Structure 1
Amino acid sequence: MLWWFGFLLFSTTIIKGNQAQKFTCPERTGFFPDLEECDLYYICSKGDYEQRLCPDGLVFDDSDPNKERCDIPANIDCGDRTVLQEPKPSPGCPRANGYYRHTDPLACDKFFNCVDGVPHELSCPPGLIYDDIASTCAWITDANRKDCKKPKKDALEDGFVCPDEAVMGPDGRKLPHPTYPHPEDCQKFYICRNGVMPQKGSCSGGKVYNVDLLTCDDPSNVPGCEDYFKGKN
């Protein structure tokens, strides 16, 4: 998995214990999963409980009984808890919350982040496509997508291919040999010779690739890469 997208706990639906099936708190205090439904859980306090439902599209994280948290299904192992609430779909969103493939079958490098039924379009980094099973972006060769085209003949061994879109320079002109950041390594980048032929690149002299300046730069100027060289020989 190359990229991870997480969800914090959204507001939940509260169902009083006398409206739900009988539940016995494993401990007097804590947050505990339903035995059958992955998005249903219980809040126990002094032996009494309230039944709660995660927002549609999210499931209960039962890894820590001291924490109340719902997350996307790709991040939670529901095991035998396979039942889910009835979906609340909307255009672009099979369920109200979560990450889903784009409605355009040709837009493999784009996906929707659905929040309360509203789809927000996001794009994968260059060379990656959206993997809707893992809910992340991945190389074409690693993604669980048989509907997307296979790597081009001139793709690099890691799956990177030059995007079709033109890259404009600071002066507003199209760059003849655009560069792109590596999705995992701050020091590495890709060069697309004449915009179509991919080639690997790497910054030298203790520098990292700055996606905003389209060039190598001091790590202190690149958010997330400030400590890249710490601990390296």
Structure 2
Amino acid sequence: MYIFAVIATLMASSCSGSESPADSKNICVQRNGYLKVSGHCDSYVECKEFEAVQMMCPDGLHYDPSVQWPNYPCGYPSDVQCNDRGDAQPADPTSDCPHQYGFFPSPLTTPTDCGHYRQCVAGQPHEMLCPSGLAFNPSTSRCDWADLVSTCNVPEFLGFKCPPATYDESKVPVETNHKFEGHCYSFYSCSAGLPRLLSCDAGFAFDPAVARCVDADKVDCSRNRTEQPPLSIHLQPQDKASEKS
């Protein structure tokens, strides 16, 4: 929780606020809440005791009109789209980050190692990894299936290539499951020649003999190298529990 408290402090200090004109009580029809500002993607008004304060999200975050007061109302663009709400503030880049906050391509990424990405927090870069089997997609700023990332060499990245695609009588791709070497609880699922690395539910393991997940007690996992693929940890834009404390 310490790192979240630090992030909350950084972001609270980076949000700008200024008192609105004298008619602010007419703006705030509710005692406490948020109001969007027309023509701006990252500006909003916070009403506190019927008093309006003009606010702006930190660079790289957008105001989310669906957030209820007193929860923190700014989120990553991948979660909060501007659509027709106007423009965002000019970028405030650093030498390592194009915006103060956000998810961006990492210089560590290669066509055969596509899972790296960079998360920027207050202009500081944090190198991150997508969950196993997923690649960072710059067009969505999210971890995605590797075959949806055009710059990723999928067979080299996954270390696996699906057999030729087969189809049923209705020309629907037939899904087949395959062993993930060295892993007892994960497997490759192939559809139309596209591989997806999946995991069995808790208490189950992949049985190559039947090509599906079964009760883990029925599978010999003594030589398994790892129980679950490693997961990446995202630093959130705001520790909501501490924002209003």
TM-score by length of 1: 0.61
Q: Which residue matches 2:20?
A: 17
Distance in 1 of aligned mates of 2:76 and 2:115: 20
Residue 189 of structure 1: how far off its partner (Å): 7.1
Listed as ranges, the matches of 1:150-189 within 5 Å are 150-151=154-155, 154-156=160-162, 177-179=181-183, 182=186, 185-187=200-202
Distance in 1 of aligned mates of 2:115 and 2:52: 44
Query: Which of 86, 89, 111 is residue 85 of structure 1 equivalent to?
Result: 89
Higher fraction of helix: 2
| Contact residue 44 and residue 56 of structure 2 kept, 8 A | yes
Structure 1: give runs of 5+ residues left out of the alignment. 1-6, 164-176, 192-199, 218-233
- Amino acid across the alignment from 1:111: Y
Q: Which residue matches 1:102?
A: 106
Distance in 1 of aligned mates of 2:121 and 2:140: 18
Residue 215 of structure 1: how far off its partner (Å): 5.2
Alpha carbons of structure 1 residues 49 and 8: separation in structure 2 relative to 1, 3 Å: same
Listed as ranges, the matches of 1:1-233 within 5 Å are 10-11=11-12, 12-18=15-21, 24-25=27-28, 27-66=30-69, 67-104=71-108, 106=110, 107-141=113-147, 143=148, 145-151=149-155, 154-156=160-162, 177-179=181-183, 182=186, 185-187=200-202, 202=213, 204-205=215-216, 214=225
TM-score by length of 2: 0.58
| Contact residue 41 and residue 62 of structure 2 kept, 8 A | yes
Residue 91 of structure 1: how far off its partner (Å): 3.0
Residue 118 of structure 1: how far off its partner (Å): 0.8
- Amino acid across the alignment from 1:14: G
Distance in 1 of aligned mates of 2:63 and 2:84: 13
Alpha carbons of structure 1 residues 101 and 15: separation in structure 2 relative to 1, 3 Å: same
> What is the percent sequence identity of the aligned residues?
25
Residue 69 of structure 1: how far off its partner (Å): 2.2
SS of corresponding position for 1:100: strand
- How many residue pairs get aligned? The number is 180
| Contact residue 43 and residue 57 of structure 2 kept, 8 A | yes
| Contact residue 102 and residue 108 of structure 1 kept, 8 A | no
Distance in 1 of aligned mates of 2:182 and 2:120: 32
| Contact residue 179 and residue 189 of structure 1 kept, 8 A | no
Residue 156 of structure 1: how far off its partner (Å): 3.8
- Amino acid across the alignment from 2:102: G
- Amino acid across the alignment from 1:204: D
| Contact residue 92 and residue 103 of structure 1 kept, 8 A | no
How big is each residue's C-alpha offset from its partner over 1:50-102, in whole Å with a ceiling of 9 and x where there is no partner?
11111111111210342332111111133312311111112331101111111
Q: Please give the root-mean-square deviation of Cα atoms over the aligned residues, in Å.
A: 4.0
